[in-house]
Amino acid sequence: MEKLGKPKANRLVFLTSPFQGHINPMLQLATILHSKGFSITIVHPQFNSPNPSNHPQFTFKPITDNLSESKVLQGDILGTVKALNKNCQVPFELYMKQMTEKEDSDDRISCIVYDGLMYFAHTVANNLKLPGIIVRTSAAAGIFNFTVFPHPHQQGYISLLGEAKASRLVFVVYPFQGHINRMLQLATFLHSKGFSITIMHPQFNSPNPSYHPEFTFIPVTDNLSESKLLPGDLLGDIKVLNKICQLPFELCMKKMLEKEDRDNPISCVIYDVLMHCAQTVANRLKLPGIALRTSAAATILSYFAVFPNPLEQGFGSLLDSMAEEFSTELQSLKLKELHASIKTEYPPDAVLELRAIITSAIKDSSAIIINTMSYLEREALTKIQDIFNASIFPVGPFHKLAPTASNSLLQEDRSCISWLDKQTPKSVLYVSFGSIVSMTEDELLEVAWGLANSELPFLWVLRPGLVRGSDLLEPLPEIFKKRVEERGCIVEWAPQQDLLAHSAVGGFWTHCGWNSTLESICEGVPMLCRPFFGDQFLNVRYVCHLWRVGLELEELEREKIVKAIRKLMVDGEGEEVRQRAVEFKDKAKLCQIEGGSSYCSLNDLAEHISSY
C-alpha cells in the first residue's frame, strides 16, 4: 500500500538566478519542500554558483553560461539577465533531456521550479511537456508592473522606454593592438545597453572570439600575411588594408542585410577611421556610419590646422612663413607644433593624401566617437563640433568602459607583477614603447645604459620586433644584465593597465601613444615622453607643455636619459609634474562617475544610435 501523502513524482528541479537575493530564497524554498519528501536538484549557472557543501541533501548541477565575474559589468543587471537567458537555455534543455531519459520510475521529475529572471525555463518546460512553476523573490506588487503594458510593442511603449528599434551594430576594426582593444571595449559597453554586436575584422592579426562569446565575429578576407605587411610601414598597411578589404566587407554587409532579422536589423556601422573604406560601404548601402577615433581629438584638427586643403597646397610652404603663428583651430598650439603630428619618414604627398581621405570619411559620417575626456581637450572638441556636421561623443577613456580582459595579441607575462610586489611604493620606472614602435640597436643600448646608470628600479617591456632586424634580446650585453640584476625586470609583454595601477610604479617612460597616455593619466602616473612617429609628437605637446604631467626626452642619449629619469622620479624639479599627475587622475575619475562628462556622453551615444 502506498504511503499516505507521498508524491507520485517526487523530484523537483530548481533553476536559480545567480544573484545573492535570489539564490537564498530559492534554497530556502527547496529546503522546505525537501522536508515534505521531495528530492531536490539545483540547476545553476556557473557564474556566482551556490556552495553545494551547505546543502548536502540536494543534487547540484552547474550549466555553462559563458559568463565570468570580469565579464559582468557592475550594475548592468538587465544586460546580465539577458545574457544568462541567451546562454543558458540550450545547456539547460540538454541536461533536462538527459535527466528525463535516465529518471527512475520512483524518482520522476515532477516539475521545474524557476526564478522569474530565468524566463527561458518556461520554454524548456513546454518543450519537454513538464509543468513549470515560476518563483518571484520580490513583492507581489512587482508582478503588477508587467501588466501595466500588456502589449508593449503593439502600443509603442517600448520606444518610449528607450529600447533601440534597430539594435545590431557592426564594428569594423583596424587590426593593430591599440585599435582592436579600444573597439572591443566600446562594443562591450554598447552591448550592456542592449545592442547586439557584430565585429568585422581583417583575417590578419584578428582578435580572439573566445574572449567575447557574446559578440558575433566575421573575418573579412584580406589575402594578407605578416610577411606582406612591412614592419613599421604603417602608411602602406593602411592603404593596402583599405584597398583589399573594401569589396569583401561590402559583400559581407550585403549578405547580412539580406538575412537580417526583422527584430534585430542593422542600426549602423561603427568603424575605426583608419578603415575608412567602411564609410564608403555604408554610404552605398544607405546605412549610418559612425567614425571612431582612438587617438586625441586634436589629431583631427591637425589635418585642418596646417593645410585646410592639403592636396591643393605645397607641403611645407605654409609653415615656412607662418611656423611661429598660433593655430586658428587650436589657439594653445603654434603651427609648427601641430606640424609635428605629421612628422614622418613617408613622402609628404602620401601622408596628405591619406589625411584627406580620412577627413572625407569623417565628414560623411553621422557621428564621431572620440577616445578622450572633455576636460583634456575642451578647445579641440569645440572646434571639431564647428567644423563637422555631425554629433560628437567624447566618451573616453575607453579602457575604463569594461572590465579588463585579455584582448592582447601578444602573450602577457604576469610574473612581473610579483616582482613589483617586492618593490617600495612609487619607486619603479615602467618602460614600454607600445606594440608597433621600432628602434635601432644603438638606440636600444642608449636606453639600456640610461636605465642602468639611473640607479633606480625599472620594469622594461622589450618585445620581439622592438629592435629592427632582431626578434630576441641579443643586443643587450651581459655586462648590462649583471649591472642591473635584481634592480631591473625585463619582459617581452606586460599587462600595462595593471602595472600602471600598481602602487610600486612611480613613473612611465612611454612613446606617448594616445592609449598609453590616457592609461597613465587615469592612474596618476607622471610620464617621460619620447615620441617616435605620427600623433605621438602632438600628444607630447599636450602632456609635457600644456597639461604638464610629463617630461619630454628629445634625444636617446644615455646621460640625458639618466637626468630625465631622476628628475621625473626623485628630484625636487619634478615635484610639480608628479603632483599634477595626481590632480589629473582625480579629474579623470570625475568624468567617469554618474553625471560626469564621459558618463553623460556615453548615454547620449546610446540614445543617438537608438534614434536611427
Amino acid identity of residue 453, one-letter, is N
Q: Where are the beta strands (DSSP E) in 71-178?
A: 109-115, 132-135, 168-172
DSSP secondary structure, 400-429, as one string: GTS------SS---THHHHHHHTSPTT-EE
156-160, 358-362, 449-453, 473-477: lowest mean pLDDT where?
156-160
Whether the bond between 175 and the residue before it is cis, its omega within 30 degrees of 0, is no
Q: What is the pLDDT of residues 251-264, one digit of tens each?
A: 999 999 998 777 78
Phi-psi region of 434 (alpha: psi -120 to 50; beta: other; left: phi over 0): left
User: Interior CA angle at 54 toward 50 and 55, to 5°?
Assistant: 90
CA dihedral 101, 103, 104, 105 (to 10 degrees): -80
What are the two backbone dihedrals, phi and then psi, of residue 335, each rounded to the nearest 5 degrees?
A: -60, -40
Residue 143 is predicted with a pLDDT of 55
Q: Which residue has the cell 527512475?
A: 104
Closest C-alpha among 361, 354, 362, 352 to residue 309: 352
Domains annotated for the chain, with CATH where assigned, are 11-148 (3.40.50.2000), 168-304+354-404+593-610 (3.40.50.2000), 415-591 (3.40.50.2000)
Query: Which grid coordinates are listed for 30?
Result: 527547496
What are the two backbone dihedrals, phi and then psi, of residue 176, each rounded to the nearest 5 degrees?
A: -135, 150
User: What share of the chain has pLDDT > 70, as a percent?
Assistant: 81
Expressed in percent and rounded to 5, the helix, strand and coil fractions of the chain are: 45, 15, 40
Q: Which residue has the cell 636606453?
A: 447
What are the two backbone dihedrals, phi and then psi, of residue 342, each rounded to the nearest 5 degrees?
A: -115, 20
Residue 7 is predicted with a pLDDT of 45
Mean pLDDT of 91-116: 86
340: pLDDT strictly greater than 50: yes
**What's this model's pTM, rounded to 2 decimal places?**
0.70
| Cβ neighbours of residue 51 closer than 8 Å, sequence gap 6 or more | none
Distance CA 44, CA 64 (A): 9
Mean pLDDT of 27-41: 91
Residue 225 is predicted with a pLDDT of 59
Distance CA 99, CA 92 (A): 11
310: pLDDT strictly greater than 60: no
556: pLDDT strictly greater than 70: yes
How confident is the prediction for the chain on average, in pLDDT? 84
List the 488-491 sheet strands across, edge first: 488-491, 458-461, 428-432, 505-510, 527-529, 550-552
Residue 341 is predicted with a pLDDT of 53
Distance CA 466, CA 463 (A): 6
Residue 604 is predicted with a pLDDT of 96
Phi-psi region of 465 (alpha: psi -120 to 50; beta: other; left: phi over 0): left
Between 23 and 232, residue with greater pLDDT: 23
393: pLDDT strictly greater than 90: yes
3-state DSSP assignment of residue 26:
helix
Residue 144 is predicted with a pLDDT of 47
Measured from the Cβ of residue 181, the count of other Cβ atoms closer than 10 Å reads 23
User: Interior CA angle at 68 toward 430 and 188, to 5°?
Assistant: 70
Contact by Cβ (8 Å): 566, 454: yes
Residue 47 is predicted with a pLDDT of 82
Q: Which residue has the cell 610604479?
A: 505
284: pLDDT strictly greater than 90: yes
List the 59-63 sheet strands across, edge first: 59-63, 39-45, 11-15, 109-115, 132-135
Closest C-alpha among 224, 250, 240, 241 to residue 170: 250
3-state DSSP assignment of residue 285:
coil
What are the two backbone dihedrals, phi and then psi, of residue 602, each rounded to the nearest 5 degrees?
A: -65, -45
Q: What is the pLDDT of residues 499-549, one digit of tens each?
A: 999 999 999 999 999 999 999 999 999 999 999 988 898 899 999 999 999
Distances in Å between the alpha carbon of 363 and those of 283, 301, 349, 388?
A: 12, 13, 21, 6
Distance CA 105, CA 384 (A): 73
**391 strand-pairing partners:** 367
User: Between helices 120-127 and 77-102, what is the axis angle to 10°?
Assistant: 20
Residue 70 is predicted with a pLDDT of 45
DSSP 334: B
| Cβ neighbours of residue 442 closer than 8 Å, sequence gap 6 or more | none
Residue 373 is predicted with a pLDDT of 97
| Cα R_g (the chain), whole angstroms | 28
DSSP 469: T
Q: Classify the C-alpha dihedral 254-256-261-264 as positive or negative.
A: negative
Distance CA 532, CA 80 (A): 42
Q: How many CA atoms lie within 13 A of 443 on its CB side?
A: 14
Q: How many CA atoms lie within 13 A of 335 on its CB side?
A: 18
Contact by Cβ (8 Å): 83, 196: no
Residue 408 is predicted with a pLDDT of 66
User: Interior CA angle at 386 toward 382 and 387, to 5°?
Assistant: 120
31-45, 84-98, 308-322, 410-424: lowest mean pLDDT where?
308-322
Mean pLDDT of 19-23: 82
Q: What is the pLDDT of residues 217-268, one digit of tens each?
A: 999 987 765 545 555 577 888 888 999 999 999 999 999 999 877 778 999 9
33-37, 266-270, 562-566: lowest mean pLDDT where?
33-37
Amino acid identity of residue 42, one-letter, is I
Residue 329 is predicted with a pLDDT of 58
Residue 112 is predicted with a pLDDT of 95
User: Interior CA angle at 493 toward 489 and 495, to 5°?
Assistant: 95
DSSP secondary structure, 538-569, as one string: HHHIIIIIIS-SEEE--S--HHHHHHHHHHHH
Q: Which residue has the cell 603632483?
A: 579
What are the two backbone dihedrals, phi and then psi, of residue 79, each rounded to the nearest 5 degrees?
A: -65, -40
User: Between helices 277-284 and 234-259, what is the axis angle to 10°?
Assistant: 30
User: Interior CA angle at 537 toward 532 and 543, to 5°?
Assistant: 120
